[in-house]
Amino acid sequence: MFFRIYFPDCTDLKTFINKKIFPLNISHYLGVAIMAKAKAKKKTTVSKTKEAKPKKIEIVNIVVSGQVDQDKIPLEKMAATLPNTEYNPEQFPGLVLRIREPKTSALIFNSGKIVCTGAKNMEKVEQAMGKIVEALKKIGVNIKSKPQYQVQNMVASGDIGMEINLNTLAIKLENTEYEPEQFPGLVYKLKGTHATFLLFTNGQIVCTGTKSKAEVEDAVQKLIKKLKEIK
């Protein structure tokens, strides 16, 4: 399923929900899924009366990774000194730092590697990275230069304004995964892009795998074009 793309050791949705190794905010995706399941209609054809126009596609999560100019971060000291941290090296080598504003989470490793998730735009990413540096300085880590980081994943969600026949897509499209008994969404890896979509019958979508807003917009337009081709 969709969650196994990024969490291959998760065998079911319950495991995904309860997973605490990486602090991704999954409430939005679960909300989309629950809403889609509740509102999905019994129609088995793509609506011909609804024009396929995205009502609103929003960035809901940006995952970035970076490196500070220190190769030894005292994670035990960080966990003992700072609030809003979680560190259990017996289970996972990284420390989780939760930032209240902007509402984000950072995964910090002893090597100085940082993974930050939860921001919805690049301005929030920049602010979160600044808060991480401030936290490191509080425990005596001398950060001389601003951490360099790269976007690893940009997740978007929205409504493409058309009902979708998931059964037909599962049959006619390649690179799909659909198990309606387990989860109401269909996973579709769109060729020619880095995007993977989670599609619901009522037109709700989640897009992941892109690294910029432009990539998201391009992938959504290509998705709509592909869906119109399916008869």
Q: How confident is the model at residue 23 (pLDDT cuts 50, 70, 90)?
A: very low
- Side chain identity at residue 5, one-letter code: I
169-189 pLDDT tens trace: 999 999 999 999 999 999 999
Q: How confident is the model at residue 53 (pLDDT cuts 50, 70, 90)?
A: low
* Token couple for 23: 């602090």
- % of the chain at pLDDT higher than 70: 76
Task: Kindly report the pTM of this predicted structure.
Answer: 0.77
Range in 3-12, 112-121, 172-181 with the lowest mean pLDDT: 3-12
- Residue 23, CB half-sphere, CA atoms under 13 Å: how many? 23
- Per-residue confidence (pLDDT) for residue 45, from 0 to 100: 38
Ordered domains of the chain (ranges, CATH): 2-60+153-229 (3.30.310.10), 69-146 (3.30.310.10)
Q: How confident is the model at residue 19 (pLDDT cuts 50, 70, 90)?
A: very low
What's the rounded Cα separation, in Å, for the pair 121 and 126? 9
Residues 6+ apart with CB under 8 A from 64: 115, 116, 117, 119, 125, 129, 149, 150, 151, 152
- Per-residue confidence (pLDDT) for residue 9, from 0 to 100: 41
142-158 pLDDT tens trace: 888 888 899 999 999 99
The more confident residue out of 56 and 194 is 194
Burial class (CB in 10 A: 0-12, 13-18, 19+), 140: exposed
What's the rounded Cα separation, in Å, for the pair 47 and 205? 16
Q: How confident is the model at residue 55 (pLDDT cuts 50, 70, 90)?
A: low
119-137 pLDDT tens trace: 999 999 999 999 999 999 9
- Per-residue confidence (pLDDT) for residue 36, from 0 to 100: 44
- Please write down the HEC assignment for all residues of the chain: CHHHHHCCCCCCHHHHHHCCCCCCCCHHHHHHHHHHHHHCCCCCCCCCCCCCCCCEEEEEEEEEEEECCCCCCCHHHHHHHCCCEECCCCCCCCEEEEECCCCEEEEECCCCEEEEEEECCHHHHHHHHHHHHHHHHHCCCCCCCCCEEEEEEEEEEEECCCCCCHHHHHHHCCCEEECCCCCCCEEEECCCCCCEEEECCCCEEEEEEECCHHHHHHHHHHHHHHHHHCC
- Per-residue confidence (pLDDT) for residue 56, from 0 to 100: 83
- Residue 197, CB half-sphere, CA atoms under 13 Å: how many? 35
Looking up tokens 């999954």, which residue turns up?
Answer: 26
- Side chain identity at residue 56, one-letter code: K
- Per-residue confidence (pLDDT) for residue 69, from 0 to 100: 86
> Mean per-residue pLDDT for 96-107?
96
| CA-based torsion, 1, 115, 131, 99: positive or negative | positive
The more confident residue out of 175 and 15 is 175
- Per-residue confidence (pLDDT) for residue 231, from 0 to 100: 61
- C-alpha distances in Å from residue 77, one per residue of 36, 110, 141, 188, 218: 44, 11, 11, 44, 45
